[in-house]
Amino acid sequence: MTKKKKFKLKDSMDKLGIVGLFLTAIFSPCCFPVFAFGASALGLGSFELFGGWTMWIFQAMVLISIMGLYISYRKHRFFHPLLIAIFSGFLIFYAYHFNESDNWIYFIYAGMIGLLTATIWNYKLNRMPGDCDTCITINGKDIDFNSTIVCPDCGYAKTEIMPAESCVYFYVCEKCNSRLKPLKDDCCVYCSYGSKKCPPVQAGISCC
């Protein structure tokens, strides 16, 4: 079962942020001299695309990139790219607001490289297929059909294979015979008592 992946702005914020970050630097050679050669080759010379707003727009792109990586972390739980991005963002803001030495620009370049590395690494991690036997890809996301459901009455746990496209509204505990129903605002018993949400919810589509 495969569905086409729709473009979502929040899923691409890190990529948009890093692209905006480097475009701002390339088209502002006075603020970022390392890019002056490339700008001159394009005939821009000392052209400043954003004028006095350059560094504010640059910092906004840094925040957008980090925010995008945080959103990706919430969904996929890859922490290391986010950690690199946060540290890189810290370098950039420290250099611009607090570092008064002549070498402040090198901190910014290091931060830019760090954000680029984090974005590429995160992209590759998100593209990796699932490594479990019960996983398939839906909407570009790896969905695990195994879920361990825990009875709230007796604590008995059992791993079940969830159906792909339907909700399980009732579940009877094998140990105490309690009849479980979903909690308020949940669509099925796996979303309420399972270690994994049901496949449609994992995929980000409506259930039932």
> Helix crossing, 54-76 with 104-127: angle to 10°?
30
For 169-204, the pLDDT digits (tens) are: 899 999 999 999 999 888 899 999 998 888 888 887
Q: Considering the entire predicted model, what is its pTM?
A: 0.56
Residue 3 lies inside a defined structural domain of this protein = no
Whether residue 104 sits in one domain with residue 23: yes
Q: Are residues 38 and 104 in the same domain?
A: yes
- Tens of pLDDT along 117-137? 999 998 887 766 544 555 666
Q: Are residues 112 and 171 in the same domain?
A: no
Residue 22 placed within a domain: yes
84 in a structural domain = yes
- 161 and 121 in one domain? no
If phi over 0 gives left and psi between -120 and 50 gives alpha, with beta otherwise, what is residue 78? beta
* Residues 142, 118 share a domain: no
As a whole number of angstroms, the distance between CA 38 and CA 40 comes to 5
Write down which residue in 99, 127, 155 finishes a domain. Answer: 127
Query: How far from 124 is each of 21, 119, 187, CA to CA, in Å?
Result: 20, 9, 32
Please state which of the ranges 17-21, 46-50, 137-141, 196-200 shows the lowest mean pLDDT: 46-50
Is residue 208 in a domain? no
The per-residue pLDDT for 139 is 66
| 2 in any annotated domain | no
The proportion of the chain whose per-residue pLDDT surpasses 90, expressed as a percent, equals 34
Query: Looking at the structure, do residues 20 and 69 belong to the same domain, yes or no?
Result: yes
pLDDT tens-digit map of 148-163: 899 999 989 998 988 8
If asked whether residues 67 and 116 sit together in one domain, one would say: yes
Domain that holds residue 176: 135-203
207 close to 201: Cβ distance less than 8 angstroms: yes
pLDDT grade, residue 78 (50/70/90)?
A: confident
Looking at the chain, the whole-number percentage of residues with pLDDT higher than 70 is 75
